[in-house]
Structure 1
Amino acid sequence: MEELTWNNPAIADGIAAIRTGSPFVYGLTNYVAANLSANVLLAVGAGPAIGAAADFPTVFPAGAGAVWINTAALISNPAEPLADAARTAHEAGSPWVLDPVAVGAGATEYDAFVKSLLDHRPTVIRGNASELIALSGGAATGKGVETTASAEDAIGAVEELARRTGAVVAVSGPTDYLTDGTRTVAVPGGDVRLTQVTGAGCSLGALIAGALAVVPDALTATAVAHAAFATAAERAGARTVGTGSFAVALLDELSLLGR
């Protein structure tokens, strides 16, 4: 299986394209992750807007370079704005990312809504192994927002999900696996503290959207985001001790990538 890392020229070129293009990226996410997600995008030069105020969900996706929808936004929003944003993005041709947080953890009504968003054809779906196994129709094994399966366990499921939906599907773990259903690549690296900082995975979804706004190929864009995030995390981890300083250093290292 091919590995993609920061040393691949396409990865650095993708981050450079975000900095040059300064794309507008619109997102709906949960209040826990919103701050980090916005700062991750700002660190690489994108311009984020987050939230479902008034008619944002029916206006902003049409003019955005890309959109991301983290379904845990339902914590503080009704279902309609998420459905509106997904539908608007799809109809406008704006690429969009679905992050199906906690799907498969036993909340039946929530799971049904998350699966309904697939009707609006996300460009990329990203999540942990339990979430993506459940979304593909496999046995639900998640515990809240945490996975009980490994990324390697999910490779077959994410490949099937990609073929069925037409989306690029990305599963996170110590090594991330990204697939369009035909080609599957591995992105190694990162730092264990990414699992100990609230909103880190959610902000990766935002970064994927930032890359989608300027990189035409969805699999390449997804790899750009994952490899950049992994490299920034490794560099942050090498110079910090605790989780708080790591979170700040992660943003610093993202802001320094390619400079």
Structure 2
Amino acid sequence: MSAPVLAPPAISIRGLRKSFADHQVLRGVDLDVAPGSITALLGSNGAGKTTVVRILATLLRADAGSAEVLGHDVTTAAGQVRESISLTGQFTAVDDILSGRENLVLMAKLRHLPDPGAVADDLLSRFSLTEAGGRKVSTFSGGMRRRLDIAMSLVGDPAVIFLDEPTTGLDPAARIEVWSTIEDLAGRGTTVLLTTQYLQEAEQLADRIAILHEGSILVEGTLAELRALLPPATVTYVEKQPSLEEIFFALTGRPAGHGKGES
């Protein structure tokens, strides 16, 4: 019986280095991301997460090392990489004056897609924004704006999407809305590289977690593999108190208005 053939990684990074003046940000990063998976690049502010993403998105050139996206080198085949990816940054890139639908139609036109209106309507439906689609984005809540931002990133169906700290500044309900959106992306086969400084976010979403610290990957693996690095937990019996999250949603309800055009 022959061994199964493993698919090549969607993202492959080897020995990536980058400095700004005398400050060495990346010190030899190695990482593989499997197709259709969510990999979290977890690290504190200044760890180098955004620098990695900007290099992969061809917005920044590395000083040394190599990186490939879907087999395309980010330096020598930047055009092919850009055709295969999308990037959602830390701050939403939507036009407040336009409606949600108009933002999506504009993006579809910029990508020269044949039926921009149909593309916009499909994405509004996928991201539970149909009822709010005709409203100006300036009236959207934070969670709705971020969902629209991610929807715009998916115009043209990119195979790989980079999400750079996508829930920064969002309240707990909006964060859960975005988590659901990200899980849906991977469920549809999109490869997701997610940068975050929130441990719970990485634990909730990621198939694999890479901890980036001071420009280097300290460890990478599944959550179970990372847990196995520490001594086994001791069993103690304590009275369980409700978490702050449980209190919050008990008082306010589940993430209210998801898909109902809340503001």
TM-score, normalised via structure 2 length: 0.33
